[in-house]
Amino acid sequence: MNIDKLNDYRKDIRKITYSKEQGNHAIALVTERVDNELFVRLVADRTVHIVF
């Protein structure tokens, strides 16, 4: 999958679940609707783990 062609693969806003490490090293589990712009930022963030 090429992140530059994400709009070809993912055309709508979707609800995803991911964990994110906080500044105090606590882990937050988040479920939210994510557009392509936010999805790309989450994928690039090393403190985020997307639950598939």
| Predicted pLDDT of residue 51 | 93
Name the pTM for this structure: 0.76
> Which pLDDT value is given to residue 6?
67
Per-residue pLDDT at 40 = 87
Sign of CA dihedral 4, 9, 12, 13: negative
pLDDT (tens, 9 = 90+) of the chain, 52 residues, equals 667 766 666 778 889 999 999 999 999 999 999 988 898 899 899 999 999 8
pLDDT at 20: 96
d(CA 14, CA 36): 9
Burial class (CB in 10 A: 0-12, 13-18, 19+), 22: exposed
